[in-house]
Structure 1
C-alpha cells in the first residue's frame, strides 16, 4: 500500500511538472490573465510589505480613498496559511508553493477516493489529467482563489466518503477546516459549488437522517470558522456597489450551441484570433473554453455506466445534471427569471462545469481501472443530456447568442489539422473502447486500458500545452519591483496613469482613489462620478481626464496633488479642516491619524478620512462619537474650545468579535464530538 501511495505521489508530481515546470524558475510568475496583475499580485505584494514592516493591513489608503482591505475575502488576508507563506517566502513564491500544495492535496485526495472505489494507478493517472489539466482549470489560472478552491474539491469528496465509511466526527471536522480554508481564499461561488457537491454526495450515500445531521454539522461548523471574515465582509457588501446594483445570475451562462467547446478545443479561435466575445460579450476565453479531452469524454460516456456502485453512479449523474441546469440557466424557462438564494447571488454559472469535469474524471478513471463490462441498458441515459440541450436549442432558437454562435462557428470552421487530429482521436478511442468492451482476454483488456490511458494523455497534453503560452511572465512584468517613488508617501494623489489602475496603487506608498474589488464602495463610486470620474477601476486616457477634471476630483477627494504625464499640480486640500482655530502636528498613517487642534471656540472638524464603522475617535484620550451621517462619504466630528489631542484609529471590531465567537463555538463543537462520538451512528 505504501508503494502504491508513493507511486501516486510520483505520478501526481510528474503530471504537475508537465504543465507547470516553469514555477521552478525564480524569474517567472504565474500569470494566465489580467486578474492576476490587477487583483491578486497587488494584494500579495501589499500584504508582504506590511508584514515585513511589522504591521497587519486591516485598512489601506492606497485604493478607494480608504478601504478595509482585510474584509475583502478575495485578498486572502485572513487565510492563515496564505499569510504565513507570504511572510516567509514573499508574494510570488508564496503563491507558487500554495498552488503546488493545493494541487497535491487535491490530486492525492482523488487517488485515495478512486482507490476506495476500486481504482488503480492507471485510472488515477487518467482521472488526474482530466480533472486538473482541463482547459477550464488551465485557462482560469489567473483567478488564484478559484483555482485553489477547485483544486481541493476532490478533498471535500474524499472526506464525505470518509464519513460514509466511518460515520464519525473526524471527516466532518476536517471537511469544515477545508471549506473554511477555501472560503478564506476568497472565491465564494467556488466554495458554494464545492459544498453543494459534498452535500449531494452525502445525501446519496447515507440515509437521509444521518446525511442531514452530517450536513447541518458541517455547515454550522463552517459558518463558525468563517465568522471572523463574514461579519466585516457583510458590512463591506451592504455598502458596496454590488449590493446597490446587484448581479444577473444568468450572466455568463453557456448557450446550447457553446456545448461544442466540450468536444472541440479552440472552437472559437486560438489565442490570437479568438472571436468568442463577438458572439457574446460574456464569452471570455477563460469562461468559455472547457475542453477536457474528446477521448476522455468518450471513455466517460461508457465508464459512467460501468460503475457498479449505484450510489456513486447516481452521484455522477447528479453532478452532470447540476451542471446542465446551472451552466445553461439563462436558457431554461422559468428558472432564468428567478433562482433562490444563494444561487441568485452569483453570475458565471458556467463555472459549474467543474462538476461535470469531476464526474468525467472519475468515470474515465474507473473505466480504465476496471475489467467490468458496461451495462448496455444504462447507455441510453447518455441521450438525456443530448435531448436536454436539443430542447433548449429549440426553445431558444431565435436567441441572439445562439444565432451568433451558429454564424461565427459554422462559417469560420474549416477542415484543419486540428479537426483531422480530433477525428483520429475519435476513431482510435472508439476502437479501443470496442476492444475493451467485447474482449474476454485479461491481456487484451489490460492492453486496451493502457491504450486508452495513452490516448487521453496525448490528447490532453497536445491541446493543453497550447494554452500555456501566456501562463507565465517575468516577475518584473507583474509588479514595479525596480522603483518605488516615495516622494508622495502618505499623501493622497490623483494619478490616472496606467501604473495605478485597478489595484496597482497598492504597489506605491501614495494614497489613491482607484481600485478593483467586487465590494467596491458604492459611495465612493457615486461621489467620484459626480465630479467627472466614471470608472475607478479602469484608468481613463489622459485626453479624457483634463486638468480641470483632475483638479475637481482632487478637491473632492482631499488630494494633496494631481499628476498627468508625470507632471505634478498641487491641489493642497487640507486632510483635516476646522471651522475655527488651527490644526497642527498632523500625522497621516494608514489606519491611524493624529493631530493637535487649538481653538478659542467650539469647532466642527471636517476630514477626508473615508467613513467606515471601524474608525474610532479619541479626544484627549477619551472616546468620542463622530457626527456625520451613516451614509456620508467622510468622517466629521465636533470639538469644544481649547487645545485638544485628536486621534483617529481604525479598529477591526467586527473581526475581533468574529474571532471570539469562532473560538467559543468551535471549542463547543469539538467538545460535542468528544462527549458524543456515536452521534451519527445508526440507532
Structure 2
C-alpha cells in the first residue's frame, strides 16, 4: 500500500494517457489523420473501402500536414536507419534535399526507438502517446520540487500534459516533445540554482540537446530566452554572477551536444527559400487576433473545424490557446496570493508576457522584425501561456488547500471568480458581433438579409459553445466556495482534477482523429504501376495526388511541400512555371506548367491526370486541356485517373558526349540515397549529369580520386569525365554534420569530466537540495 501511494501520481498519469488513447488500446486505431488521404484525394477515392460504403469521412482537414509530410518523412527516415544507414538525404521530394538537417524530421529523438521495435502504425501510436506522459511527468516533478502537495502537483501536470496547445499539435509528434522538456529544464535549472551542484548543470545541457533534437527550434528559442531569467531570479548570493556564468556555460554545452542536428539544420536554413519567405497568411496567422482572446476559456466560441462551423478570424490551429476553464479559475485563485509567492509572481509575469508577444501589440510587431523571429509565428508563444497557466492553477489549488485550514472570511472574495469568467465569455460574445459587422463591411455586396442570417447562425454556434464553459466556471466557483466555507478541500481537490481532466480530454477527442491502421496509405493500381516503373524517371502528381503523399510509396517527384528546402530548387520550380529571373517558390513547391522544357530536364517521366466531365471527376471523362500536349501519351488507366508518359523526359542520369549526344546511364544501386555510383565508358571526354539537386556536402570522385564538380546553370550534379572507362561516385558527406559530430563528442567528454569531478568532491560537500 505504501508503494501504491508513492507511485499513485505516475500511475494516474499513465491511466489518463491510456484513457485519452483508448481507441488505440481497444480498437488499434492510430492517432493519425489518414482519413484525409483516402477520403479526399484520387486515386484512393475511386475505391470503396470496407466499412465506408459512402466514402471515408474526414474529421479534421487542418491536420493535413501530418499525413502529407510529418508521418511519411518519419517513416522514411526510420526505414533508412533500419537498413543501417544514417538518413541524411531524402531523394523523394524536390529532386532530393537534406533529410536529417530538416529539424522536423527529428532523426535524433530518442523515442524513435519505437519505430525500430514495432511496425509503423503501432510505433506511431506509442510515439504520439508518450508526449503527454512526458509533459505530465516533468511538470509533476517540477511542482513537487516547488513544495506543492501531491494533488495540486498532479493537477498541474494534467493541465499541461493535456493543454489546448499540446492537444492541437499532438498528432504532429514534434511540438509535444519540445514542450515536454520545458518543465524538465526549469526543474534542473532550479535545482542547479539552489544546490549549486554542477551535475544539474550537465543534466540541463542534456535536456537542452534533447529539446533541439525534438524538432521545433522556434519553441527551443523561446525556452533558451526563458531559462537564464528563471535561473537568475532563483540564484542567491554569494557569487551570484559567477554561478550564472557557469549556468550559461552549461546552456552552451547543451547546444554543442545538439551540433550534429543544429549545424546541418542551420546550413539548410541558410541555403533555403525560408529566409526570404514571409509567414503564410500574414498577420492573421502570425499574431493572435484580439477577438480570439475568448478562446482562452471557450475554444469553440467561433466554432470548430471538426464540426464544419468555424467562422472566426485567422486559423483555428494557430489562434486557439485554450487552457481550460477550471484551470483558469484556479489561476485567478493564485492571483490573490501574488505578494506571498515568488513563483506566482514569476509565472503570472510569464503568462502576461507570452500574451503580449502573441497578440498584435507594438512589442510583438517590433520583435517580429528581429533575426530568427521574422519568419516565425508569434502564436507559438502559447506554449508558455499553457505552461504558466498550468503551474499557476496548481499553485492556486495549493493555496486553496492551505486556506481551508486557516482563516475563512478573508478568502470569501474568491467566490467572485466565476462571475469574472462568465463576464469574459459575454464580452467575447459582443467582440464576435463586432467581428461579424467588420466582415460585412469588407463585403458590401452582401445583403442585410444574408448578413443577418449568417450572424444568426454564427451566434447560435457561439451560444451553444458557451454553455459548457459557463457550467464549468459555475462548478469551479462552487467548489472554491465549498472548500472555504465547509473546509472540505480534501474532497473538492480530487473533484477539481477530474473536472479539468474531463474538460481537456473532451476537447482533445473532438479535435484529434483516430483512424484504422489498415487504411493508412493503402495501395492502388495507379500507385503499383508507378512503383513497378521506378528507375525510368520521376513522376508528377498532376491534379491527382497532392504534394508529398507519394512518400510512403517510395516514389520520387520534383515538387513537394516543406517549410525549408534548397533555394536553388525553389528558383528552378519558379522558372519552370514561368517565373521571373531570381524568383523563388515558397514552401509549396507545386508545378502548374507541363509544357515547360524544364519539366523534361528534371527527368519527369510520368504525370497523373484526373479525367473529368464538365469539371467533375468521372471515369468516362478526359483530362484537362493542360495535359493535351504532343509529348504526353497515356500508358495506364484506372478509374478516374490516367497515367501519362512524358516522351520528352530526359533520363535521371545521363552522359553528354560529342558523338552520341545524351546517353542514359544508371547507378549501380538505388539502395543508398546519399550515394550514386556509375560505370561509364566513352571514347572521348564527356560530362556526367545526375539530376539530383546539388547541395553543399555532395562530393564527386572519379576512380576514387576526388574531383571538382562542373559549374552549371542548372541546379544538378555534374562532373567532367575524361575518355575511357571510369567509376564515378557522387557522395553526400556534409561537412556541417562531421563538425557537429566532433562537437558532440567533445561536449560529451567535457560533460562526463564535470560529473566525475563533481563525484570526487561530493563527499566533502553537503547536499543542500534534494529532488522530490
Is the pair's TM-score, using the shorter chain for normalization, greater than 0.5? yes
Q: After superposition, where does 1:426-445 map in structure 2 within 5 Å?
A: 426-437=473-484, 439=485, 442=487, 444-445=488-489
- 1:43 paired to 2:73: yes
CA positional deviation for 1:484: 4.9
Contact 2:31 2:128 in 1 (8 A): no
User: Structure 1's 307 and 672: CA in aligned 2 closer, same or farther, altered over 3 A?
Assistant: same
- Distance in 2 of aligned mates of 1:490 and 1:5: 60
Match of 1:638 in 2: 720
Residues of 2 paired with 1:268 and 1:198: CA distance? 35
Residue 501 of structure 1 and its aligned partner are, at CA, apart by 3.2
Question: In structure 1, how many angstroms separate the alpha carbons of the residues matched to 2:549 and 2:455?
Answer: 37
Q: 2: CA distance between counterparts of 1:632 and 1:212?
A: 51
For structure 1, the residue ranges without an aligned partner over 5 or more in a row are: none
CA distance in 2, matches of 1:78, 1:457: 32
Count of paired positions: 654
Confirm whether residue 573 of structure 1 aligns to residue 655 of structure 2. no
Map of 1:297 onto structure 2: 328
- Selected match of 2:269 from 230, 234, 237: 237
* SS state at 1:131 partner: helix
SS at match of 1:504: coil
Q: Please, which moves more after superposition, 255-264 or 25-34?
A: 25-34
Match of 2:234 among 180, 195, 205: 205
Structure 1 counterpart of 2:172: 143
1:62 counterpart SS class: coil
| Structure 1 residue 553, shift from structure 2 partner | 4.5
- Write the mapping of 1:631-670 to structure 2, written as runs, cut at 5 A: 632-670=714-752
Partner of 2:534: 489
Once the two structures are superposed, the pairs formed by residues 582-661 of structure 1 within 5 Å of their partners are 586-587=666-667, 589=670, 590-628=673-711, 632-661=714-743
Partner residue, 1:559: 604
Q: Is the 8 A contact 1:327 1:352 kept in 2?
A: yes
In structure 2, the residue corresponding to 1:627 is in which secondary structure?
coil
Counterpart secondary structure, 1:271: coil
CA distance 1:465–1:648, change in 2 (3 Å): closer
Deviation at residue 416 of structure 1 after TM alignment: 4.3
- Aligned equivalent of 1:268, options 281, 302, 308: 302
Q: Distance in 2 between matches of 1:143 and 1:401?
A: 32
- Whole-angstrom distance in 1 between the partners of 2:436 and 2:717: 47
Report the Cα offset of residue 260 of structure 1: 0.5
Query: CA, structure 1 residues 498+445, in 2 after alignment: closer, same or farther (shift >3 Å)?
Result: same
Residue in 2 that maps onto 1:466? 510
Specify the SS of the correspondent of 2:119.
helix
1:183-582 matches, cutoff 5 A: 183-207=212-236, 208-209=240-241, 212-247=244-279, 251-272=285-306, 274=308, 279-280=312-313, 283-306=314-337, 310-328=341-359, 331-333=360-362, 335-339=364-368, 341=370, 344-370=373-399, 371-373=401-403, 403-404=438-439, 412-414=458-460, 416-437=463-484, 439=485, 442=487, 444-467=488-511, 470-480=512-522, 484-485=528-529, 486-497=531-542, 500-532=545-577, 548-549=595-596, 552-564=597-609, 565-569=641-645, 570-574=647-651, 575-580=653-658
Task: Determine if contact 1:118/1:369 at 8 Å carries over to the other structure.
Answer: no
**Does the 8 Å CA contact 2:710/2:720 hold for their aligned counterparts?**
yes
Q: Is the 8 A contact 1:610 1:634 kept in 2?
A: yes
**Structure-1 separation of matches of 2:455 and 2:229:** 36
1:6 lines up with 2:7 in the alignment? yes
Cα distance, 1:231–1:458 mapped onto 2, change above 3 Å: closer
What does residue 42 of structure 2 align with?
none
Q: CA, structure 1 residues 342+153, in 2 after alignment: closer, same or farther (shift >3 Å)? A: farther
Unmatched tracts of structure 2, length 5 or more? 34-62, 442-450, 580-584, 610-640
Going from structure 1 to structure 2, the CA distance change for 1:53 and 1:420 (only over 3 Å counts) comes to: closer
- CA-CA distance at 1:8 after TM superposition: 0.7
Q: 1:155 aligns with which of 174, 184, 192?
A: 184
Aligned to 2:198: 169
Per the TM alignment, residue 626 of structure 1 is displaced from its structure 2 partner at its CA by: 0.8
CA contact (8 A) 1:554 1:561 kept: no
Rounded Cα–Cα distance in structure 1 between residues aligned with 2:555 and 2:491? 65
Partner of residue 121, structure 1? 150
Distance 1:178 1:23, change over 3 A: farther
1:411 shift after superposition: 7.9
* Equivalent pair of 1:122/1:450 in contact (CA under 8 Å): yes
Deviates more, 1:219-228 or 1:265-274: 265-274
Q: Once the two structures are superposed, what CA deviation does each residue of 1:190-241 show, in whole Å capped at 9, x if it has no partner?
A: 2223333333321221145256325412321121111112222222111211
Q: Distance in 1 between matches of 2:368 and 2:593?
A: 45
Q: Is the 8 A contact 1:596 1:643 kept in 2?
A: yes
Quick one: which of 80, 93, 115 aligns to 1:86? 115
Q: Structure 1 residues 547 and 187 mapped into 2: Cα distance closer, same or farther (>3 Å)?
A: closer
Q: Give the conservation status (yes or no) of the 8 Å contact 2:296–2:323.
A: yes
Q: Does the 8 A contact of 1:252 with 1:348 survive in 2?
A: yes
SS of residue paired to 1:71 = coil
**Separation of aligned partners in 1, 2:15 and 2:516:** 24
User: Is the alpha carbon distance of 1:462 and 1:252 closer, same or farther for their aligned partners in structure 2, counting shifts above 3 Å?
Assistant: same
- Report the CA distance shift for 1:70/1:456 in structure 2 as closer, same or farther (over 3 A): closer
- Secondary structure of 1:322 counterpart: helix
Relative to the length of structure 2, the TM-score reads 0.76
Deviation at 1:297, TM superposition (A): 0.8
Distance in 2 (CA, whole Å) between partners of 1:527 and 1:258 is 40
SS in structure 2 opposite 1:577?
A: strand
- CA deviation after TM superposition for structure 1 residue 417, in Å: 4.9
Contact 2:228 2:248 survives alignment (8 Å):
no
**1:70 corresponds to:** 100
Judge which range, 566-575 or 297-306, deviates more: 566-575
TM-score (norm 1): 0.85
Which stretch has the larger CA shift, 256-265 or 524-533? 524-533
Residue 65 of structure 1 and its aligned partner are, at CA, apart by 0.5
Q: Report the alpha carbon displacement of residue 82 of structure 1 after superposing the two structures with TM.
A: 4.0
Contact 2:145/2:187 (8 A) holds in 1: no
SS of corresponding position for 1:70: coil
Cα distance 1:646–1:456, how it changes in 2: closer, same or farther (>3 A)?
closer
CA deviations over 1:321-345 (Å, ceiling 9, x no partner):
22122111xx222641445755524
User: Retained in 2: the 8 A contact 1:244–1:522?
Assistant: no
Q: Rate the CA distance shift 1:360–1:245 in 2: closer, same or farther, 3 A.
A: closer
Deviating more after overlay: 369-378 vs 570-579? 369-378
Instruction: Classify the secondary structure of the residue corresponding to 2:604.
Output: coil
- Does residue 210 of structure 2 align to residue 181 of structure 1? yes
Q: Give the deviation of 1:579 after TM superposition.
A: 3.3
Distance change >3 Å, CA 558–CA 267, structure 1 → 2: same
Task: Indicate conservation of the 8 Å contact 1:616/1:623, yes or no.
Answer: yes
Deviation for aligned residue 1:554: 3.2
